[in-house]
Structure 1
Amino acid sequence: MEEVTGHGKFAVKFTGKSIVKAINPLPKPQIITLSNLDLLSGRFPVTYFYFYQNPEKVCFSSIIESLKSSLAETLSYYYPFSGQIVQNPNTNEPEIICDDNGALVVEGHANISLKELDFYNLNQSLQGKLVSVNTEFPLQVQVTHYTCGGISITFTFDHALGDASAFGKFLVSWSEIAQKKPISCMPDHRRNLRARYPPTYHPSLDQTFVKCTIEEIINMPITQILLKRLYHVDVSSINRLQQLACASGNKRTKIEAFSAYIWKTMATVIDKRHQKCKMGWLVDGRGRVHGAQNLMSNYIGNVLSVAVAEASITELKQGSISDVASNVHDAISKVTNEAHFLDLIDWIECHRPGLMLSNIVLGRGGPALVLSSGRRFPVAELDFGFGSPVLGTVCTTIEKIGVSYMNQRPSARNDGSWTVSAILCPELAAALESDSIFQPMLASLLRL
């Protein structure tokens, strides 16, 4: 197998494909019925990519063999990741068949060194080169070798398998197994987030979420070109924004402060036809559903909701970072509780079967940006036996999205700085880059 893909200077030659199965498969196939919150998250692919300098210059064939053998062991614990996701003909909803169909591992060789890679412009760097999607496999891995001896690993998951918390547990377990360590998480695959009887929910959920068709998703309104960008945000900038957000005496988190800055910046580039704009935040329900954190800390699946706030352009422009951060705080606080998640599970029950999404993601209701925080997502600790990464972040291969989007991750420097992956309109990208806070990701920032 030799296939070359690339545009211009950067190209990747694909040299091998393997299907990796669990070392200890289940005695017989099991079926996992998706929870209501799994159904809300949908089936789109989620990709994480990591870059390694490979300081010991471990040979590529040894890396591939080590990754495949440790993956096979990991799949024995995370057996749904080695299964198939199929449509149940009776319920018309997807389910996971845990039959050890396997995970797909693709090998590639880049024609450049890591420091020559364009880390900033993800439109150019990823699609068809570092990320390939095969819908037959819920988990796909691409391992790419660079001329400098460096390595990149891209992990693509079907969202039905879980959310960022679930994928983070999987990746940490895999790296622990690769380093011959005991795994720190014994995964819980029981999708036990079920509706109450009779289901009941607060009517405000009808404004936040909507039942939709595949045609509505395909035809969601797109008014501008969306750029895929990667940024470095220094810890000094984060701390400064938090100080501004806390200026009125209220305690605000770093994410609340960061959100306030983004929202105010977005207000400066909104088309004059719009008097308001929205911001949304993905919220993890672990620690909020069924009480204490430890009861769901190892839950593998989706436990996500969306907080949404709307404000006038005038209010955002004239308000201080502290004022806007208070608006952010109030919106997020409304969904960070058990009552909200129980209501959401019941709302989904009342609208099954079919596709469901948040209105903000569908691009309804005017200009908006959704922020996802991955402050606990593993980055620096993801060592598979050839050193810690210089970069770890998330990206998407989705070509069409109805909202601007940002995803925050800890920097691999482990110094409190952040890596931010973004999908933005050109005007917002230019506005953010005009300040010193959003630094376009460069090889020098990664110390390559």
Structure 2
Amino acid sequence: MSDVLQKTAAPEKFEVKLSRKSVVKALSPSPEPFTITLSNLDLLSGRFPVTYLYFYRKPQSDSFKAFVDALKSSLAQILDHYYPFAGQIVQNPKTSEPEIICDNNGALIIEAHTNIPLRNLDFYNLNETIQEKVVSVEPDFPTQIQVTEYSCGGISIAFTFDHALGDASAFGKFIASWCEMAQKKPLSCIPDHTRHLRARSSPNYQPSLDQNFIRCTMEEIQNIPMNHISLKRLYHIKASSIHMLQKLASVNGIKKTKIEAFSAYVWKIMIGTIDQRQETCKMGWLVDGRKRMEKGENLMSNYIGNVLSVTFGEASMQELKEGSISDIANTVHEAILKVNNEDHFLDLIDWIECHRPGLMLAKAVLGQEVPTLVVSSGQRFPVTEVDFGFGTPLLGTMYTTIPSLGTGYMNQRLSAKGDGSWTVSAILWPELEAALMDDPIFHPMSASHLEL
């Protein structure tokens, strides 16, 4: 066999070599360590790593080392403003709950190199591409960044955070502020680290919260039943497809959001991929409570921490089969509306207060419900804005190193193309992955979508 045929038959194995680890500390830390007590909503979100992953063409810098050194310099500066991100998260022996020690322990930077160019990367099958390669996790550091250089000179940056530090809104503020610092721009966000979301003096909540949420242990979280929801995939969805779905979902002059329309479409696909003996199935949505709790005064827009709830809609298999996209979008809208208010978040904070100490999660996340798919919107999460002075990204998405979940999961965000298209990161069961493979709207992410 000729050398050419050998290369065609056996492509080069994708390998990543870690070359250096370093710890970056804030430039002007507090002279004495101090503690930040987590809020009740922080306890609801749990302790697991969340990763945001960006890919870039070869930066216009002298070298990979110069690129990383510039990142470290601006990171040290932004940690002065986001000091919990340079701290440690430890268990308080008296309360048995985690807390943040602001001691300037630092953020971890990992430098790595690959043997392939970006265009040869499998952007669709993230199980093969990402974990333990361009994303690695060390539990001693709640903030860690892996910067990986490809043989073409392209770069990926993986930002991994402990969920106790915050939610997507908080992490988006941190990354956007870091970019502003790197470009020597004034900071548009003065972060609020007060974690002031506390229970009312006489905790009180609607009994319906007991149906959706449960107190649990870390062991229970780690021992979620193996239910084959472990396929991590990345999709591209055209802007024209999103507009078409929104038009289908919006009838009688009532306009549905893009997420409501997208959810309705996915819900119809989902029912064909689960055991038909099931009578019902669920879809869930993560909801950010900041705007619901600030009463129009924009007081919580810079709140750093977790302000998330999750709501679920349940429908029979029959009504999902027979219903139109518009009908199902109505069900989605009603489910989200239930938690889209301040009263829900105040009740949720009180529910957690009544179940402390311990970790709390939605029952569905522990795999204790009927088949469920959770949809999360990253519509406002920065993508094209994640520019450290070396250019805008080709791709921005989220990733989790958790091996499997109790529910399916999809996260959408605007693509880096800036044309209204979406990037959708998903964790799926095999039958749902197969259905999406044959779907005309979901396009497996590829180098061609990124114009590589």
Question: TM-score w.r.t. structure 1 length?
Answer: 0.97
SS of aligned partner of 2:446 = coil
Give SS of 2:17's match. Answer: strand
Q: Give the deviation of 1:225 after TM superposition.
A: 5.0
Q: Aligned residue for 1:180?
A: 184
**Superimposed CA distance per residue, residues 391-423 of structure 1 (whole angstroms, 9 cap, x where no aligned partner):** 000000001211100111110011111100000
1:405 corresponds to 2:389? no
Structure 1 residue 183: Cα displacement? 1.0
- Partners in 2 of 1:22 and 1:215 — Cα distance? 34
1:141 shift after superposition: 0.3
2:144 maps to 1:159? no
Amino acid paired to 2:389: G
Is residue 109 of structure 2 the alignment partner of residue 112 of structure 1?
no
- For the residues of structure 2 that align with 1:86 and 1:57, how far apart are their CA atoms? 39
Q: Distance in 2 between matches of 1:191 and 1:215?
A: 26
Amino acid of the structure 1 residue aligned with 2:94: N
**Residue in structure 2 matched with residue 39 of structure 1 by the alignment:** 43
Offset of 1:224 from its aligned partner? Answer: 2.4
Deviation of the 1:274 alpha carbon? 0.7
Residue 296 in structure 1 maps to residue 296 in structure 2: no
Q: Secondary structure at the match of 2:140?
A: coil
Write out aligned runs for 1:192-231 (5 A).
192-224=196-228, 226-231=230-235
Instruction: Give the conservation status (yes or no) of the 8 Å contact 2:229–2:406.
Output: no
Change (3 A) 1:417 1:65: same
**Cα offset, 1:291, TM superposition:** 1.6
Query: Which whole-Å CA distance do the structure 1 matches of 2:354 and 2:38 have between them?
Result: 16
Aligned equivalents of 2:117 and 2:106: distance in 1?
A: 31
Matched residue type, 1:253: T
In structure 2, what is the equivalent of residue 189 of structure 1?
193
Question: Helix, strand or coil for the counterpart of 1:324?
Answer: helix
Say which of 291, 312, 320 aligns to 1:316. Answer: 320
Q: Given the alignment, which residue of 27, 46, 53 partners 1:49? A: 53
Partner of 1:380: 384
* SS of 1:315 mapped into structure 2: helix
Q: CA contact under 8 A between 1:286 and 1:293: conserved in structure 2?
A: no
Asked if 1:70 is matched to 2:52, the reply is no
The 5 A counterparts of 1:242-281 are 242-281=246-285
Using the alignment, how far apart are the partners of 2:22 and 2:284 within structure 1?
39
Deviation, 1:433, is 2.1
Inter-partner Cα distance in structure 2 for 1:220 and 1:98 = 32
Deviations 1:166-202 (A, max 9, x none): 0000000001111111111010000000000110000
The residue aligned with 1:3 is none
SS of structure 2 residue aligned to 1:326: helix
The DSSP-based 3-state class of the residue aligned with 1:443 is coil
Aligned with 1:352 (options 335, 356, 372) = 356
Unaligned stretches of 5+ in structure 2? 1-10
| Structure 1 unmatched runs, 5+ | 1-6
Check whether the contact 2:229–2:407 (CA below 8 A) recurs between aligned residues: no
Q: Does 1:147 align with 2:151?
A: yes
Deviation (angstroms), 1:79? 0.2
Give the CA deviation at 1:57.
5.4
C-alpha spacing 1:332/1:225, structure 2 compared with 1 (3 Å): closer
2:344 counterpart letter in structure 1? H
Q: Deviation per CA, 1:9-47, whole angstroms, max 9, x where unpaired?
A: 111111101000001111211210000000000110000
Cα displacement string for residues 71-98 of structure 1 (whole angstroms, at most 9, x for unaligned residues): 0001000000000000001111000000
How far apart are residue 219 of structure 1 and its match?
2.9
Name the CA distance, whole Å, in 1 between partners of 2:345 and 2:67: 42
What residue in structure 2 maps to residue 125 of structure 1? 129
1:309 aligned counterpart, secondary structure: strand
Q: Which residue of 1 aligns with 2:4?
A: none
> Could you say what secondary structure the match of 1:288 adopts?
helix
Deviation at 1:58, TM superposition (A): 4.4
- For residue 250 of structure 1, report the CA deviation from its aligned partner: 1.9
| Equivalent position SS for 1:287 | helix
* Equivalent residue pairs, number: 442
* Structure 1 residue 10 corresponds to structure 2 residue 14: yes
Q: Deviations over 1:296-339 (max 9, x none)?
A: 00000000000101001111111000000000000000101000
- What is the CA-CA distance between 1:55 and the residue it aligns to? 5.0
User: In structure 2, how many angstroms separate the alpha carbons of the residues matched to 1:256 and 1:194?
Assistant: 31
Answer whether contact 1:58 1:386 (CA < 8 A) is retained. Answer: no
Overall identity of the aligned pairs, in %: 67
| Structure 1: distance between partners of 2:227 and 2:150 | 37
What is the identity, as a one-letter code, of the residue corresponding to 1:158? D
SS of residue in 1 equivalent to 2:211: helix
Matching residue's letter, 2:27: I
Question: Aligned with 1:307: secondary structure?
Answer: strand
**1:395 — aligned with what?**
399
CA distance in 1, matches of 2:12, 2:399: 22
CA distance in 2, matches of 1:55, 1:147: 13
Query: What does residue 426 of structure 2 align with?
Result: 422
CA-CA distance at 1:220 after TM superposition: 2.3
Question: 1:4 is matched with which residue?
Answer: none
| Structure 1 SS opposite 2:80 | helix
- What per-residue deviation string (whole Å, max 9, x for no partner) do you get for residues 323-368 of structure 1? 0000000000010100000000000000000121001111112100
1:13 is paired with a residue whose SS is strand
Report Cα offsets for 1:122-181 as digits up to 9, x if no partner.
000111111111111000000001111110000000000000000000000001111111
Question: In structure 2, what is the equivalent of residue 306 of structure 1?
Answer: 310
Q: Determine the C-alpha separation between the residues in 1 that align with 2:416 and 2:234.
A: 14
Cα pair 2:56 2:395 within 8 Å, conserved:
yes
Residues 248 and 322 in structure 1, CA contact (< 8 A), matched pair in contact too: no
Structure 2 counterpart of 1:60, which letter? F
**Residue aligning to 1:100:** 104
Rounded to whole Å, the distance in 2 between the matches of 1:79 and 1:212 is 29
Amino acid of the residue matched to residue 388 of structure 2? F
Secondary structure of the 1:10 match is coil
- Summarize deviations over 1:203-227 as a string: whole Å, max 9, x none: 0000010112333323323332521
Secondary structure of 2:364's counterpart equals coil
Report which stretch shifted further, 297-306 or 125-134: 125-134
